[in-house]
Amino acid sequence: MDHVLTLIAPPGALSAAVLRAARDALSALGAATGTPDWLAAAEAADLPFAGLAPGQADAAARTALPGAAVDIIAQAAEGRRKRLLIADMDSTIVTTETLDELAGQAGIKDRIAAITKRAMNGELDFEAALRERVGMLAGLPVEAMQRTWEETELMPGARALVATMRAHGARCALVSGGFTFFTGRVAALVGFHEHHSNTLLEAEGRLTGHVADPILGRNAKLATLKRLAAEEGIGLDATLAVGDGANDLDMIQAAGLGVAFRAKPVVAAAARARVEHADLRALLFAQGYRADEFVAG
């Protein structure tokens, strides 16, 4: 079988009946299907198939499973394991938008979060929106960043994702429209090889309300994906990109496996693969890793 449909659910939530319904949906369209392969009991399984394009298989399975808390990813079977991971940080590797949380230290979280929401859904220019939000933080003591960091939590599965891919030889990079203060700490905590982001400017112990140029935005994320792939001597088909906002969309669409993770509507609609129910370990299952191959971070 030249393709595989991976079904992933929260632990304990994937049943044989759900897998059977997906298989029947593919068969009804004339696809040949193989024996399901459980990657983790009651959590993730591969369904080999042939005779349908991945998009057709994905759509058929989703139609057959309306309302089910199951993530579905269809792709070619060959080359599933990727050699480069590019990950967004905010609302992807960590559970929050760190700029919004930093704004909470200034008492203006709601104002800044409203702008963030529109920017991440592609309604505002990312760079302009970033400058506007940073400008609203002028005068905030730099200690507020440390307080924000102390309240920041990792997304479940983040450590396992990076540790497992590193253990199998992949290069892992954190590429964020956020700020170096946070990406450096997240990269060290999770185990990324490197991090790329923006720099908040400060003077006399306070934020100036400016961000250093050039801003790492949508175009820069895509450029970083291409540059790191070239440095590794691999094609984009051997890369994995994951994110949730509009500034992630270009890199998600360019990567061999591009995943919209609990993403904004505009991103989820445009990405070839999306994860809405499972945690970040779903990206390992999508690459064909079994649960007993995961490395604890």
DSSP annotation of 91 reads T
CA distance 294 to 297: 9
List the beta bridge partners of residue 86. 173, 241
Q: Answer whether 47's CB lies under 8 Å from 33's CB.
A: yes
CB 238 within 8 A of CB 229: yes
Q: What angle do CA 156, 159, 162 make, to 5 degrees?
A: 125
Joined together, the tokens standing for residue 201 give: 């400017």
- The residue from 71, 88, 244, 279 that is catalytic is 88
Nearest to 177 by CA among 222, 112, 110, 114: 222
- 197 contacts 89 by C-beta, under 8 angstroms: yes
Annotation says 90 is catalytic:
yes
Distance CA 162, CA 89 (A): 13
Annotated catalytic residue: which of 46, 90, 248, 250?
90
> Given phi > 0 = left and psi -120 to 50 = alpha, else beta, which region is 3?
beta
How long a stretch of residues is the chain? 297
In the residue annotation, 248 being an active-site residue is answered as: no
Q: And the tokens for 227?
A: 């540059």
| Residues marked as catalytic | 88, 90
